[in-house]
């Protein structure tokens, strides 16, 4: 894939005192949504500057977003570049099985110029009282993610984007540096600056900078120009 420097993002609060502005001529805006957002007004989002979207398709090996089809079709009809993401549950099935479930329920990729490669959302266990790393040690977690990644690549011809936080990656993979060559990084860091990256990556492809904003869902920037975004969708 093409390498995009992480320093190319526009800092959200660059005009604030003490902020360090990061200049970039382009930073396509995007959102990610799930069943929580329900019926999204995609036309309004596009008119408000959104150019791409990730839509939750699945979790584990049993859950599908009941709004996925309508959200995905709505984004398509609005002319957005869009893709699907899977919320990983490493404690409820092997990584390769979850990749197959994801692809069979909307998470595939096609070289049509408007479909983003599928993303694996891997973060702290949201279950109340659940183990933060789903009961896996660092080595087992790395193997689980690798199994998901390899299976997704085998099924689609693309490696999945990895959505995570630097803190989770350090805590649950031991800050493993082995994924940067194949897997684009979608970093969640809700701040006015990108912050430190996990080991193995020199840049990000997407930065989720806020959990809410002027558009539905989480707020994101793509690291590059509109042409770069189209190229990433088409071939990486």
> Which CATH number goes with the domain that contains 34?
3.20.20.80
pTM: predicted TM-score of the whole model, two decimal places: 0.89
Host domain of residue 195: 6-13+20-226
Is the pLDDT confidence value at 8 over 80?
Answer: no
Is residue 234 in a domain? no
Which letter does DSSP use for residue 52 in this model? E
Count the domains in the chain.
1
Catalytic residue among 32, 59, 96, 203: 32
Is residue 43 in a domain? yes
User: When comparing pLDDT for 141 and 1, which is higher?
Assistant: 141
User: When comparing pLDDT for 131 and 130, which is higher?
Assistant: 131
Which residue, 108, 99, 47, 101, is CA-closest to 72? Answer: 108
Is the pLDDT confidence value at 106 over 70?
Answer: yes
Is residue 24 in a domain? yes
Catalytic residue among 23, 96, 121, 123: 123
Percent of the chain exceeding pLDDT 70 equals 89
Is residue 231 in a domain? no
Q: Residue 32 catalytic?
A: yes
Would you state the pLDDT for residue 26?
A: 55
Is residue 88 in a domain? yes
Q: Please, what is the average pLDDT of the chain?
A: 90
Is residue 75 in a domain? yes
Total length of the chain? 236
Point out the least confidently predicted range of 16-20, 71-75, 154-158.
Answer: 16-20
User: Dihedrals φ, ψ of 169, to 5°?
Assistant: -60, -40
End-to-end CA separation in angstroms for the chain: 5
* Cα distance between residue 174 and residue 138, in whole Å: 5
Is residue 105 in a domain? yes
CA distances from 97 to 100, 144, 147, 206 (A): 5, 10, 9, 26
Is residue 232 in a domain? no
Is the pLDDT confidence value at 24 over 60?
Answer: no
């Amino acid at each position: 894939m093409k390498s995009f420097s992480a320093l190319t993002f526009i800092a959200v609060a660059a005009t604030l005192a003490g902020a360090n502005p990061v200049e970039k001529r382009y930073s396509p805006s995007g959102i990610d949504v799930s069943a929580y957002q329900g019926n999204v007004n995609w036309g309004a989002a596009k008119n408000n500057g959104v150019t791409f979207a990730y839509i939750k398709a699945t979790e584990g090996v049993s859950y599908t977003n009941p709004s996925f089809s309508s959200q995905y079709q709505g984004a398509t009809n609005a002319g957005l570049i869009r893709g699907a993401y899977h919320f990983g549950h490493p404690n409820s099935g092997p990584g390769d099985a979850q990749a197959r479930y994801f692809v069979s329920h909307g998470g595939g990729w096609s070289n049509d110029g408007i479909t983003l490669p599928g993303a694996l959302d891997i973060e702290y266990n949201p279950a109340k009282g659940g183990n933060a790393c789903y009961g896996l040690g660092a080595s087992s977690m790395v193997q689980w993610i690798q199994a998901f990644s390899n299976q997704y690549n085998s099924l689609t011809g693309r490696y999945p984007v990895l959505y995570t936080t630097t803190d989770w990656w350090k805590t649950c993979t031991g800050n493993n540096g082995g994924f940067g060559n194949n897997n684009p990084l979608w970093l969640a860091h809700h701040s006015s600056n990108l912050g430190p990256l996990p080991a193995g990556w020199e840049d990000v492809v997407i930065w989720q900078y806020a959990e809410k904003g002027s558009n539905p869902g989480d707020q994101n920037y793509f690291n590059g120009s509109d042409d770069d975004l189209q190229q990433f969708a088409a071939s990486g």
